[in-house]
Structure 1
């Protein structure tokens, strides 16, 4: 479908399965260079990995955190640059503890992302940088070129550098990249799983019309639920739908278990709940219980189920079976498309331009209006 209003967004959403193949090919081709830099770090005692970025780039770290920690055996924390810049003393270790700062950046020019690198160098005496970016002209990429002993860049294919406001292919390609490189297995050993997510991505895109129908429901708030790594995807999906609709649809995210502890109060007759189910049967049992409870709500709350075979007890308006496999870790990558597609079609339905949905100009492709202030030299570290 072509529309005068959107030159890039739909194309960038649909191009993701092909893009993931390009990303995988890139990691395979550069694997030795990447492992020569990362493997000695992973072997250091007490290495701490900090995953950082701003906005959607921060959510890459949130989604990847648990899997990076599991697959490297190193402590991993997701901390947004927007937190690091204001309170570096709360997050950076003040001793000789080794730190790997992994920065995610579409443009590499966000003021907070550049300052987070500067602050890391100031606070940490044993610091290395991994920059995963989509822009070779960005400040972060240029930093790695000038600091080859302590910094390495993974420059993603040009197709990952989204032209539209909303991050789509850039988000999923950065997420896939970090999961591939922060893994003690060789990238070649993950070929079948990469092929699997490519097929799952295509399967999701084949459901365009069904997802489009969902957006015609009369909802004005959406809740995305996920568990573990999928919680970070729920947060990205909530932002995607909210920014593509210019805030006309208010969104939230939570874990399935966490949603019971108060946040469920947000649901009403105009709420759509999106279940991003886990491939783990053990986790799914907890998730299913909540979904059944919401399905029994007398207010007839709308819901969309993603991941498993249709379950009549859940009573969703739409079920997308993505054939998630029990031990599949990369499934969080294709699951991200759900929020993108819902956001795209709801944006069009509301008469907005998905490429530039912010009518007031309050949000932009690269954040504007941020002034970086020098960190006080006399502050106790």
Structure 2
């Protein structure tokens, strides 16, 4: 029997195509509903993986629209709402695969009922407690996952927020829109052509500390990749801003460390300088990058180049499926079943 986790990872690009078609039918409706919120600050919120979607989504949303936004853990919205909402000029976007996680439902309820903050749910479930609590919702029931570990739905929900940003932007963003249409096929081809290579890397890694590094839209991915490695392999894994790794975290970097660096075009020269430093500390390194091999990239132990011509905002759709596969195959190499992660359930309720 095939692993449901592996199935979810490998079918996600088909889900993006469905999502894109669905969103195209909602274009005018999106503008009518949400343009009135352009002068507010947007708060993207979630728990666990959904919080890391929020981190990447906030960066992409502000980059595309110019509208101020930030990512906040749902628990902070519940416990310190007066800090999150110092006035009523905000919009809350709660993100949840199931729409039933306790904190996200409470965050939406408190924001709307106690602070009169407009709420827009992003979820893979059309009829849920979260959707019922929110003023509006963008949902993708066809992307519902069977796996406990959340994989494919991450990028589908991120796609919806990027699409929303494009609709709210005053710029036509023709290049980004064009990139979106070719993403699914390009990402799937890259993932499948590198699957065996990633499996080989995972089998070679007799290591017990994993570090994932990224800047800008890749920072949320770094946190998410670390979480996937932790959930699936029961290993110590952490995510950091690439340049922040020098400020303390490098103290534990050694021969038992594996570091995956997701390079951006925007910060390539600064970020790539860390690669030889990681090697000097004894770490094994994987570098994900695009366009061309510049200085320092060749010093990595492993490297994967994504297709040329995609902006940094689109790189998550190439990078994350590869790192999800890495977590999956590392778990298999350790004799752990990724479909039954220790102490975890698909939905957190309390």
TM-score (normalised: structure 2): 0.92
Deviates more, 1:186-195 or 1:213-222: 186-195
Aligned-residue offset at 1:67: 2.0
Pick the aligned partner of 2:3 from 4, 7, 23: 7
| Residues 70-107 of structure 1: per-residue CA shift (max 9 Å, x gap) | 222221010010222222222122x3x32211111100
Q: Distance in 2 between matches of 1:291 and 1:194?
A: 30
Pick the aligned partner of 2:165 from 152, 175, 182: 182
Partner of 2:231: 243
Are 1:114 and 2:105 counterparts? yes
Partner of 1:193: 179
Cα contact 1:134–1:157 (8 A) shared by 2: yes
Partner of 2:83: 90
Cα contact 1:176–1:330 (8 A) shared by 2: no
Partner of 2:319: 335
Aligned-residue offset at 1:221: 1.2
Q: Distance in 1 between matches of 2:103 and 2:227?
A: 19
Q: Distance in 2 between matches of 1:341 and 1:260?
A: 27
Unaligned runs of 5+ in 1: 145-150, 371-381
Cα contact 2:287–2:300 (8 A) shared by 1: yes
Q: Which SS does the other structure have where 2:148 is aligned?
A: coil
Deviates more, 1:304-313 or 1:167-176: 304-313
Unaligned runs of 5+ in 2: none
Aligned-residue offset at 1:206: 1.7
Q: Distance in 1 between matches of 2:192 and 2:115?
A: 44
Cα contact 1:226–1:233 (8 A) shared by 2: yes
Number of residues of Structure 1 aligned to a counterpart in Structure 2: 343
Pick the aligned partner of 2:287 from 296, 305, 316: 305
Aligned-residue offset at 1:123: 4.2
Are 1:272 and 2:258 counterparts? yes
| Residues 40-73 of structure 1: per-residue CA shift (max 9 Å, x gap) | 211x3xx110000111011111012122122222
Partner of 1:344: 328
Are 1:50 and 2:47 counterparts? no
Are 1:364 and 2:345 counterparts? yes
Q: Distance in 2 between matches of 1:187 and 1:173?
A: 20
Query: Which structure has more helix as a fraction of its residues?
Result: 2
Aligned-residue offset at 1:163: 0.8
Q: Which SS does the other structure have where 1:272 is aligned?
A: strand
Q: Distance in 2 between matches of 1:268 and 1:326?
A: 34
Are 1:167 and 2:150 counterparts? yes
Pick the aligned partner of 1:72 from 28, 41, 65: 65
Call closer, same or farther: CA 1:132–1:186 in 2, change over 3 Å.
Answer: farther
Structure whose CA Rg is larger: 1
RMSD: 1.9
Q: Distance in 2 between matches of 1:81 and 1:173?
A: 20
